[in-house]
Amino acid sequence: MLAVLIIAVVLLIWNGSTFFRQISAVGADLGREARTASIALTLNVALILFGWRQYVDLQHEAERRADGERRAAVLASTDSHSGLLNRKGFADRAQVLAERACRLGLDLAIISIQINRFKSINERHGYDVGDSLLRSIAAAMTEALGEGAEIARLSGDEFAVALAVDPEKPGDAEHSAEAAMHAVTTVFTIDDRVIQVGAFAGIAWAPAVDVRIPDLLRRADIAMEHAKSGRSARPVWFDAGMERALIAHGEIEQGIRYGLEHDQFVPFFEPQLDLETGEIVGFEVLARWIHPLSGTIQPDVFIPVAEELGLIGRLSEKVIADALAQAVDWDPKVKISVNISPIQLTDAWLAQRIVRLLTETGFPADRLVVEITESSLVTDIDLARSIVTSLKNQGVRLALDDFGTGFSSLSHLRSLPFDVIKIDRSFVANIHSNRESVAIVRAVTTLASALNVPVCVEGIESEAAHAAVLGLGCAVGQGWYFGKPMPGEQAAEMLVQRGHQEPQAPRTAAAG
Ligand code: C2E
Ligand code: MG
Ligand code: MG
């Protein structure tokens, strides 16, 4: 552009000087020459103006582009719902903050915050209210934490804050975490609805000189997960033990895969009794991991990890196949209950798999009870219904496990044709001393009897509990008072001792 201007000015000067030279040299032709010269001058001025205009337009265009690029950069690093930084923006800005903190001899703290049950706000009030809530939380956090903090929304319900902190004053980071939690848990009024959510927070801290933002954020997340699992109302500091526990989790993952290949998952059997007569009417199959180094591992350690790994179907089927193969020759009056986790009920082929296990082991379908929990009915009730209907058509019975703990919705009771309702053991643990537990067990028993569905009570640990649930009209129960989960041979022996029909000669199960 500058070149155009220079050329235009040179032309003007050259033409202008020609013009004046012509005036002095040729007086007679003044009229004609002057006209020519003035046309040239006008053309030159027009050229300059045109050039200038081009220059200004180009200047504007350059500014517009720079502005667009700036806006694109802001958008790429901003969360559109809350107006806070997004994950990328947070990583960049926290890095800049760390460099500044390093120059000032400060440390860097990252706070990870999660809203408790944000999903249920969206489900109950709709996504518009959820979005408004996010904006309100973002504004409250920005106000509470002030200018020095970098605040981000990392995903649906996760926030992060980066702060430069004085190494001598760790309390400052904790105060900021508390302020952030306080901001999240403010009572907001959105569309005339009063909304308040809970929050969990974790804090991780490192010298700014050698900090890696992703590592520090991961540690803050680990601490936050601890806060969440401990239902802590206060921020939790990261410590190295938490990371070690996670590594152990990684070892469980490896172990499960190895254990599945090497038959380390086996069925244990917990007796279920007629509470009136004391007769064994069934066994619940409970998976155990027989670990070569750690001994017998309970399912609460490995079932959640197997679910995360997508291995729960394989694991459960292996345990069920072994259980059916062992129990096929026991007294035919004795039922076998197996647990199906919610994830398994999202497998459209589950019914076929179970029927295949029945065929392979020769186990009669009407001796099998499948236990599902209410949470299974929330994910995809239609699929659950179709699986259950296929199984029931084969003669398999259906139990609603852990009733009273989850949603305890009456509609769930009616949504599928349950043959048994299992009352969760938490109501039985202190039934002889707790009036509320008595009221709940009585209410469920009355309801079940009105629906014509028998109940089975879990967790009977004492004679007093046995007497209490019997008095409340429960027909069947299980618990350590009658027998802890035991290996198949022991369960078979128990049956014989109680006068049940002796097992026939063992058959070879085709199931693997
Ligand atoms: P659940 O189906 O509710 O099983 C009952 C749990 O209560 C078992 O825990 C049992 O050992 C425990 N229990 C029974 N009687 C008493 C008692 O008197 N007192 C106390 N304190 N506890 C008692 P376990 O074996 O740890 O199983 C936990 C859960 O793991 C089971 O809960 C079930 O949901 C799941 N699970 C177990 N085996 C399998 C499996 O093969 N597949 C699937 N998908 N889930 C399984
Ligand atoms: Mg169960
Ligand atoms: Mg249960």
pLDDT at 511: 36
Supply the DSSP symbol for 506.
P
Q: Which residue has the tokens 């702060």?
A: 163
Ligand 1 neighbour 376 (Cβ under 6 A): no
Q: How far apart are CA 97 and CA 289, in angstroms?
A: 48
Position 15 scores a pLDDT of: 53
Counting ligand 1 atoms within 8 A of each CB, the residue from 305, 339, 371, 403 with the most, and so the one to mutate, is 339
**Is-contact 406 444, C-beta < 8 A?**
no
3-state helix, strand, coil in the chain (%, to 5): 55, 20, 25
Domain 87-238 fold: Alpha-Beta Plaits (3.30.70)
Structure tokens at 121: 């706000």
Question: In 310-380, where does DSSP find H-type helix?
Answer: 312-327, 350-361, 376-379
Single out the residue of 352, 349, 340 nearest to residue 377, CA to CA. Answer: 340
Per DSSP, 164 falls in state E
Cβ burial of 116 (10 Å; 0-12, 13-18, 19+) is middle
Residue 225 CA neighbour count, 13 Å, CB half: 11
Question: How far apart, in whole angstroms, are the C-alpha atoms of residue 430 and residue 151?
Answer: 47
- Ligand 1 proximity of 483 Cβ (cutoff 6 Å): no
Dist. CA 485 → ligand 2 center (Å): 12
Tokens of 105: 């001899």
d(CA 296, CA 265): 10
| pLDDT, tens digit, 9 for 90 and up, residues 371-406 | 999 888 877 888 999 999 999 999 999 999 988 876
| Contacts of 464 by beta carbon, 8 Å cutoff, 6+ apart | 431, 432
Q: Which residues contact 188 (CB under 8 A, 6 or more apart)?
A: 133, 136, 137, 194, 195, 196
- Best mutation site among 272, 286, 300 for ligand 1 pocket (most ligand atoms within 8 Å of CB): 286
Residue 342 Cβ contacting ligand 1 at under 6 Å: no
Q: What is the position in ligand 1's atom list of the atom closest to the CA of 341?
A: 44
- Measured N-to-C along each axis, helices 312-327 and 299-309 cross at an angle, to the nearest 10 degrees, of 130
pLDDT, residue 410, reads: 75
Extract the residue ranges of the chain whose pLDDT is less than 50: 4-5, 8, 11-12, 23, 26, 508-512
CATH architecture of 247-485: Alpha-Beta Barrel (3.20)
Which one from 150, 317, 458, 463 is the annotated catalytic residue? 458
Whether 299 lines ligand 1, by a CB cut-off of 6 Å, is yes
Q: Is the CB of 485 under 6 A from ligand 1?
A: yes
| Minimum-distance ligand 1 atom for the alpha carbon of 267 | 41
Could you give the CA distance from residue 203 to residue 511 in angstroms, rounded to a whole number? 50
This prediction's pTM:
0.61
Q: Is 402 in the pocket of ligand 1 (CB under 6 A)?
A: yes
Query: CB atoms < 10 A from the CB of 275, how many?
Result: 23
Residue 66: how many CB atoms within 10 A of its CB? 10
Cα of 507 from ligand 2 centre, angstroms: 27
Q: Domains of the chain: which residue ranges?
A: 2-65, 87-238, 247-485
Ligand 1 centroid, distance to 458 Cα (angstroms): 9
User: What is the pLDDT at residue 508?
Assistant: 47
Give residue 512's pLDDT: 32
Is 341's C-beta closer than 6 angstroms to any atom of ligand 1? yes
Residue nearest to ligand 1 atom 7, measured at CA: 459
Residue 345 CA to ligand 1 center (angstroms) comes to 18
The rounded Å distance from CA 82 to ligand 2 centre is 43
Please give the helix or strand (H or E) that residue 288 lies within, else none.
strand 280-291
Cα 231 to chain centroid, rounded? 16
C-alpha of 204 from chain center: 21
Determine whether 59 is exposed, middle or buried from the number of CB atoms within 10 Å of its CB (0-12, 13-18, 19+).
exposed
Please tell me what DSSP assigns to residue 366.
G
CB of 298 within 6 A of ligand 1: the answer is yes
Residue 505: what pLDDT? Answer: 58
Query: How far does residue 439's CA lie from ligand 1's centre (Å)?
Result: 24
The reply to whether 458 belongs to the active site is yes
How far is it, in rounded angstroms, from Cα 227 to Cα 221? Answer: 10
- 235 contact partners, CB below 8 Å, separation of at least 6: 111, 174, 177, 178, 181, 201, 202, 203, 223, 227
The predicted structure's pLDDT at residue 510: 41
219 lines ligand 1 (CB under 6 A): no
Rounded alpha-carbon distances, angstroms, from residue 179 to 14, 58, 137, 144, 226: 73, 49, 12, 6, 19
Name the 3-class secondary structure at 338.
strand
Determine phi and psi for 456, rounding to 5 degrees: -125, 130
Report how far residue 108's alpha carbon sits from residue 301's, in angstroms, rounded to the nearest whole number: 35
Nearest atom in ligand 1 to the alpha carbon of residue 312 is 44
Predicted local confidence at residue 24, as pLDDT? 52
